[in-house]
Amino acid sequence: MGLTGLRLFVRINTIYYMYMILQHIYVISKHIEIYIKNRPKLLFAAVILFSLIWAVLGPVGGCDKVVFYYLNKDKMVCLEPAFADFEQSSLNQDPTYIEPNVLGVLTSEAAAEDASSSDASLGQDALVSLVDDNTALGNSGPITFISQEPRDEAVNYIVQQGDSPSTIAASFGISVNTLLWANKLNDGQIIRAGDELVVLPVSGVLHKVKDGEIIGTIAKKYKADQEEIIAFNVLPADGEISVGQQLIVPEGVMPAPAKPKVQYVAGSNSRVTGPGTGKSRSYPYGQCTWYVAQKRYVPWSGHAKAWLANASAMGFSVCWGAQCQPQAGAIVSLKGSSWLSRLYGHVAYIESVSDGWFTISEMNHTGWAVRSVRTIQAGSSAIAGFIY
């Protein structure tokens, strides 16, 4: 059924319902005719009531823009005359512009000029979406329509309110890890509306070629197929690449971060002094708390597990959770793996921060009163929080 047929169908049904309403009004009026014959005020009120009913039903009769939702053809949504014609054929020919996570069809006046063309553009003036079986919702807010056509290049995506890495990845048909890796995000890290993310066309890894690298080493690093990398990036048959070139590695997997090496510091058993020595609260020598209290001023008390709450209670800036950002000179509270650290907690002093990693110095991690240094990745699940 074309758009003209739909208009005729709507109007015939509207006329039929109006006829039925008028017939009922006529029958009722016969019953009350005698009653209101000598009551002109009541008759006047009846006329006003009839006028109001007509005014309410009038817009339904004048609705002449009908759109079928592409994925649910038995649903019909009536648009106000301000919306342009948008034939079902446009959706059938070019369904790739329907947002997979939004039940909606966006129309524009531009589409009315060439509704049968598969290139008819979808405007951004209004949205009609099916919320449930019987409800149509109008929304004038910004909507991002994601094309599902195959892509061979990365695109930039602006995070919308309510987005999460998993919903964005699902919308683009890629894995969540692909999105995290391309944007150097940690699992569970918060993204906010307005953030700009790089989205790859396929699941895999985005790699910037470094000096001395060849296709073979890149494929081995990400456990990918060398020929697929060459084909997807349209490289010469011999796989020639240049320094700084961006490559998309289809189905590549980011290697797990290397386990940080623990450095034993010479003279680690000697007593450590620092800005907090003689000023901080007293702690038992050799414990992690004692060491950190020498490195900086620590006026609060308690086991390491309680340091975040105790420091916050004394007015220090505290951030709970692995998503917090490390800073040089801050204290990091860690969730230890041993039963002792799980019971009492563990704290360390942040020496430096670099490119998503931070270096800490600590005591009692490798042995009682032994000072050691190691590197931890920002966002690690072992992080309980920071005291700045």
> Which has more pLDDT, 86 or 158?
158
What pLDDT, on a 0 to 100 scale, did the predictor assign at position 190? 79
In-domain check, residue 228: yes
In-domain check, residue 54: yes
Whether 336 shows a pLDDT value over 70: the answer reads: yes
What pLDDT, on a 0 to 100 scale, did the predictor assign at position 89? 41
Give 317's Cβ-side CA count (13 Å radius): 7
What pLDDT, on a 0 to 100 scale, did the predictor assign at position 69? 38
Q: What's the full length of the chain, in residues? A: 388
Number of independent structural domains in the chain:
5
Output the six-digit token pair for 39.
């009551």
Q: Rounded to 5 degrees, what are φ and ψ at 140?
A: -100, 5
Q: Examine the domain organization and report whether 45 and 74 are in the same domain.
A: no
What average pLDDT does this structure show over 58-69? 42
In-domain check, residue 258: no
Instruction: Give the model confidence (pLDDT) of 288-331 as tens digits.
Output: 999 999 999 999 999 999 999 999 999 999 999 988 999 999 99
If residue 15 lies in a helix (H) or strand (E), which one and from where to where?
A: helix 3-37
Q: Which domain holds residue 180?
A: 155-199
Output the six-digit token pair for 364.
């009692």
What pLDDT, on a 0 to 100 scale, did the predictor assign at position 160? 93
- Dist. CA 271–CA 273, nearest whole Å: 7
Q: Examine the domain organization and report whether 275 and 360 are in the same domain.
A: yes
Q: Examine the domain organization and report whether 120 and 190 are in the same domain.
A: no
User: Model-level pTM?
Assistant: 0.39
Whether 62 shows a pLDDT value over 60: the answer reads: no
Q: Rounded to 5 degrees, what are φ and ψ at 172?
A: -95, 0
Instruction: Give the model confidence (pLDDT) of 18-58 as tens digits.
Output: 878 877 777 776 666 655 555 666 666 767 777 777 665 55
What average pLDDT does this structure show over 66-74? 40
Residue 120 near residue 111 (C-beta atoms within 8 A)? yes
Q: Examine the domain organization and report whether 220 and 290 are in the same domain.
A: no
Q: Where residue 229 sits, what CATH number does that domain have?
A: 3.10.350.10
